[in-house]
Chain A
Amino acid sequence: MNKRPNILFINTDQHSWNAVSAYGNPYLHTPNIDLLHRNGISFKKSYCTDPVCAAARSSWATGLYTSETGVPFNGGQLHTEIPDIGQVLKAGGYKVFHCGKWHVPGRNVRESFEALYYGGHNIDAGGAAYYDSASTHAVADFLTNYDGNEPFYLQIGYVDPHDVCEYLHNHEEKHIPNPVEQGILTEDELPPLPENFDYDDRETVLHRVCRRVDDALIHARILKAVRNWDELHWRYLRWNYYRFIEKVDAEIGRTLSLLRQTSFYDNTLIIFSADHGEACGSHQMFQKFSLYEESVKVPFIISCLGDEISIRKNRFDDMHFVSGVDLFPTICDYAGVDQPKAVQGMSLRPFAEEKDVPWRKHAYIESNYWGRAIVTDEYKYVTEYKPKMVEDFFPPGPNAEELGLAQLFDRHNDPWETENLTDTQGYQEVIKTCREKLLTQESQLNRQQIVHQGPQRIISNWGKRLREYWEHGKIK
């Protein structure tokens, strides 16, 4: 590579790692994401920082974990002093462009980037059916017209398969027959139930909240509808989810086809990832929010369709734990731009070039402000902080005394996370080690107080509901 590359960051929304045909899923067809994989490297141990849109995206934009960004849930607000990737690359001589979904509350995307397209009502959740094709039109217009002297950074935020949420909302107020009753599909055409449809109900309080046990904090009406579902409804959810992914794959395909027709083709680095996954029936859950694999494990591909950028092709990296915080430093590394000192992530470029560097031994994930997970090669440890009696709006941690319930899964023998081992004899030392990793990781974070009233209200409201469990053993 003899000049700074153009960088294209293509992201999808709510896209689980295993929902890519090149990764072995036979129930959908993603020829264009597969093309990126064949021309690059896919990370098998790739995790979001937080399984909800705005939170995960705040990490992409800053290289920080969500208890640092001010966006530990969808209603958060990015702390004003934290620089974002657009500002940093712009200062480093790049022309920076945004197209499609941004969803980092508290940061005006139009101030950090030149917006190619940002929707009629500023895109946040839903509306992929309208926004995604318009985004592709905007990118097509850009790729066939850009004549700047500077290299460009373009991030394309596709909304699908997030519209699976709209599919679920459609069930709120009415009973929709399963597709076999409708007569439009046979049972053979539906994907099977996931291996972990049945689950161990010894969960953290937050996970119970995520699955809306004893009433809900979020989207209770979907839960009400889902309680009337039969097996075919769940399988039809999965069928629909895969169609949403095929839709967005087609959008990516047109973008890649156009890139191929331009002079940027050989010198454009392409990174593909998703903000978080989708439960899609696993553990009888839907949407995201939880710390189970389907919700937190996401595709991460570094690719180049041409030959000017040295990248291993058609390879899986199954050694390194990758996090959403690594996007920012990876982009800075390829761009030759210094990253801010506070950034938590590390560049993945060495692995794309088959070099070895010291690396973390676990993934760290936050969820719903109080939830935490540590993923190692052997185990996954999920826990939560109890809501403070007097809330100070500092994201919780590190404090072993404040930890609540926990879940421990053996990743080798129970990859579907169906048996919580915390009460099983012989695992106390493992739990202790995982807990130490968690507290050590958290001691390295620059947690900042949530200062905006809106997010404070959310924390207060949620905290009140959660405290009811700890005080009365029940969420009202």
Chain B
Amino acid sequence: MDDSYPLHWSFDYNHGAQNPEFAQELIKLLHGYDTKSTTHHTDAEEDHSIKHVYQILPNFWRGYQGRNVQENTLSIGNAIIERQKRNNDIWNYNVRYQNTTSGEDLRFEFRCQDECYRPLHGSWLVDAQNSCSDTYSRLKWNGHLSSDAEVRLRLNGAEITAGAVDNSLPLTCNWALFDVIPALAEKMKESGDDVDIALLDDLEQFRPKNRLGFLDSTQSPISLDGYYLYGTGILPSYWWIDATGNIVIVSSVFETLVLTEMTGSSV
């Protein structure tokens, strides 16, 4: 691992107010992943179960840890993405996203077809819990694609439409991009062509048209290929894949996810 500067601009968030310093924290976390990635669980591989754990580093200027708080880590939470292939053609995803800034603990359950675009399959479920001392403590909703291609969400007896899907574009969940981008990476990099995709952000917010493409390569801190994602209603994010095909860094304007643990083989 090359710990020397500079990191790629897309994930080098180094605001002076941050302590510990962002780049050191990012590199330290990646060191941890380096060690753990050599100890894949063989039994997990056999049942096609894969798990990635990411720490969430804030790209905020302020407000992410409260005022005058001295911590020994920048991490404000983590994202755990588990998926398992069943019946050979369906992937079952369980994702947990905890964030001390929002105070929300989100759990996502959804299924995708075993294709490189991971199209959403069947219904899905979100369980949101709020740890703040407010009236809102928990909200669950489920969703499905209706026969007339509408994204429908149902909560507490109310049903709303989140958008109408254009069947010419595959619809997947943003949390499945951890598999979609590696699956499309080689094609995007070699051809230089973009890929259009529809997203259901957090199984809740429909983003009808988004673009994925190859961004850049870097050798610092490790050898990585970067890909971008942007579209209507979303800010650009940058997804960096290592030589083993795992997404190890995801950076956007507000946060950086850093891979710290993995079990199972990359897809």
Contacts and interface: CB of A to CB of B under 8 A. Distances in A.
Nearest to B157: A144
Given A141-B156, A261-B160, A134 B103 contact: yes
Contact of A130 (B10, B102, B236): B102
Interface stretch (A113-121, A327-335, A412-420, A440-448): A113-121
Contacts of B64: 121, 126-127
Nearest to B158: A261
A121 B15 contact: no
B226 to A, nearest CB: 10
Interface string B140-163: 010000000000000111111110
B103 A145 contact: no
Interface hub of B10, B62, B135 (most chain A Cβ within 10 A)? B135
Interface residues on A, range: 35 or more
Contacts of A257: 160-161
Given A134-B130, A169-B15, A247-B233, A119 B101 contact: yes
A128 B60 CA distance: 10
Contacts of B234: 243, 247
Contacts of B59: 166, 170
Contacts of A126: 60-64
Contacts of B62: 125-126
Nearest to A164: B253
Nearest to A30: B233
Interface stretch (A176-184, A200-208, A468-476): A176-184
Contacts of B113: none
B104 A130 contact: yes
Contact of B158 (A29, A114, A174, A258): A258
A434 to B, nearest CB: 37
Nearest to B128: A137
A165 interface: yes
A262 B158 contact: yes
A116 B160 contact: no
Given A119-B132, A134-B104, A176-B9, A170 B233 contact: no
B210 to A, nearest CB: 11
B61 A165 contact: yes
Interface hub of A121, A179, A262 (most chain B Cβ within 10 A)? A121
Interface string B205-241: 1000001010110000000000010101111100000
B102 A170 contact: no
B253 A170 contact: yes
A163 B62 CA distance: 11
A127 B254 contact: yes
A376 interface: no
Interface residues of B, number: 58
A261 B235 contact: no
Given A129-B254, A130-B101, A258-B160, A116 B63 contact: no
Interface string B53-73: 000000111111110000000
Nearest to B16: A173
B134 A116 contact: yes
Given A240-B235, A244-B235, A261-B158, A166 B254 contact: yes
Contacts of B60: 126-127, 166
Contacts of B63: 121, 123-127
A130 B230 CA distance: 18
Interface string B175-200: 00000000000000000000000000
Interface string B117-133: 00000000000101110
Interface string A93-133: 00001010000000000000011111111111111111101
Given A127-B254, A182-B228, A120 B103 contact: yes
Contact of A246 (B102, B232, B252, B253): B232
24 contacts: A99-B136, A116-B135, A117-B130, A117-B134, A119-B101, A120-B100, A121-B100, A125-B61, A127-B101, A129-B254, A130-B101, A130-B254, A134-B104, A138-B139, A140-B139, A140-B141, A142-B135, A166-B61, A169-B61, A172-B16, A221-B16, A247-B235, A250-B233, A257-B161
Interface of A: 29, 97, 99, 114-131, 133-134, 137-138, 140-145, 163, 165-167, 169-170, 172-177, 179, 182-185, 221, 240, 243-244, 246-247, 249-250, 254, 257-258, 260-262
